[in-house]
Chain A
């Protein structure tokens, strides 16, 4: 029996936007795959999230609601999600490629669960005959691969902010399912979540990112970068060089071994533009570079460049932007 299962993610009863994108994409692929679209939600006291999914256009909603699912565990969420896929008889599984979603999608596609083909972090899904063909970046976006599944089940995680989240609406029934393991038997689980620094935006999620590199000169030299980020309501990013120097936290690193970002505006100040940094930000919509060295490779990918000292240019840029507002 064909069909698509969308394993959704909720936080505090609210379904994540990236999951709605995955659900909307599943509904668009329903005619190709055939069968029903089933939305699965996991957590504790998640009636609201289940109701929102029931009103989204999914054919059915399956909810796993138990105290030990309140916070994520690879083991627990995987066991529930895999059971839901089997019960629905789905041949395709969509998961939002958030941090949790990527863990879960990999786990359910493993040999101990669905033994499926797994395409991670997809940026497009095409149809060819009755098949889905997934497009995904590899080598940190230095190449793009298209893959097709040769196994019975195809698991895809969908990169957030790419797929249209428009949902048709509907009224599906919600089925409550029982987790396939004893309560309290999980061996590794999240025990707490602390909000990161000062409620600042995460580089991977922000619309605008202002990044600084070794050109800032010192940890204090990041002041104009932070001030511009503040004025633009942007996240602060960093090159690996300044993270390794301890000037900035790891969470801010952009690049091949940091975060891959694609904001609508990326400002690189005092960053030379090493290939590993470019891998993390070259899909940004607009790139602005500020660098003292006119030969810096960052200017090759920047839409707009200013040759100059960031300590002079950034404050002037901030003032000009504030003057507009």
Chain B
């Protein structure tokens, strides 16, 4: 069975967001882009799937911008092939899922590995949307995954508990941080990855389903104050919490 890993390109989490001149998107000036942090766990799970079940592992990225360096990293870690679906405009998870579904269908049966959420738009929806289009089940926010013959057992943290989920394969999984230990690629793998196929295919983006009214920075927090040093400051802190902010 094949495996697909979907990779999103997001600003490095250390980025200080600035709003662009149109007031509707961020100012990309000086922003470093990286593989979405949750997708690192998806990729590791996809590599483990390939090791256990054989088949091909294809990494897919949809976006306007070049991402070849990072896609090569995925190839070095163990993917067989990378596909960049190059679009001409920004796109939400619906549009991304429909483009990906079309590309994945000929590779079925294939399990699909995504991150639980892309840390730019913070939607957390692409994976389950894709599952619907591929007519396979979906398990989101996976925090551990055990592959069996034709099934898998996943766990997911919910409010105040942990769910166990049984799924038949193929399936779409979206990954939470900590689901596994992502591997690093060695020098030999990095060299070998240069020979692996990286395809760029131009596709036209379907019309988006949301229109942006505005993008703004959140209001700044009011200036705080240092109450004092060490245990001597504790009495005053308690007073402030009680009398001034009334939270205790």
CB atoms of B240 and A120 under 8 A apart: no
Is the interface on chain A under 10, 10 to 19, 20 to 34, or 35 or more residues?
Answer: 35 or more
CB atoms of A112 and B238 under 8 A apart: no
Nearest CB in chain A: distance from B136 CB, A? 7
CB atoms of A285 and B247 under 8 A apart: yes
CB atoms of A189 and B165 under 8 A apart: yes
Across the interface, B227 reaches (CB within 8 A) one of A78, A286, A304, namely A304
Question: Roughly how many angstroms separate A143 CA and B37 CA in the complex, as a whole number?
Answer: 19
Which B78-115 residues sit within 8 Å CB-CB of chain A? 92-94, 97-98, 101
How many A-B pairs have beta carbons closer than 8 Å: the answer is: 292
Interface string of B7-51 (1 = CB under 8 A from A): 000010111110100000010000000000110000000000000
Q: A107-B132, A118-B209 are in contact. Are A139 and B120 (CB under 8 A)?
A: yes
Task: Verify if B191 is at the interface (C-beta below 8 Å from A).
Answer: no
Stretch at the interface among B61-69, B137-145, B182-190, B196-204: B137-145
Across the interface, A187 reaches (CB within 8 A) one of B14, B171, B221, namely B171
CB atoms of B209 and A150 under 8 A apart: yes
CB atoms of B93 and A118 under 8 A apart: yes
Task: Verify if A98 is at the interface (C-beta below 8 Å from B).
Answer: yes
* B contact residues around A146 at 8 Å (CB): 212-215
Nearest CB in chain A: distance from B240 CB, A? 6
Which B135-158 residues sit within 8 Å CB-CB of chain A? 135-141, 143, 156-158
* B contact residues around A145 at 8 Å (CB): 212, 214-216
* B contact residues around A111 at 8 Å (CB): 94, 97-98, 101, 129, 132-133
Which A74-129 residues sit within 8 Å CB-CB of chain B? 74-75, 78, 98-100, 102-103, 105-107, 109-113, 115-121
CB atoms of A110 and B165 under 8 A apart: no
* B contact residues around A174 at 8 Å (CB): none
CB atoms of A144 and B234 under 8 A apart: no
* B contact residues around A305 at 8 Å (CB): 224-227
Which A160-216 residues sit within 8 Å CB-CB of chain B? 186-196, 201-202, 204-205, 208
Q: Which residues of B contact A (CB under 8 A)?
A: 11, 13-17, 19, 26, 37-38, 92-94, 97-98, 101, 119-126, 128-133, 135-141, 143, 156-168, 171, 176-178, 207-218, 221-222, 224-231, 233-235, 237-238, 240-242, 245, 247-248
11 A-B pairs with C-beta separation under 8 A: A103-B141, A110-B97, A118-B92, A147-B210, A187-B168, A189-B166, A192-B163, A205-B159, A287-B224, A304-B225, A320-B235
Q: A140-B13, A305-B224 are in contact. List 8 more A-B contacts (CB 8 A).
A: A74-B139, A75-B131, A112-B132, A118-B125, A142-B16, A143-B215, A288-B241, A317-B238
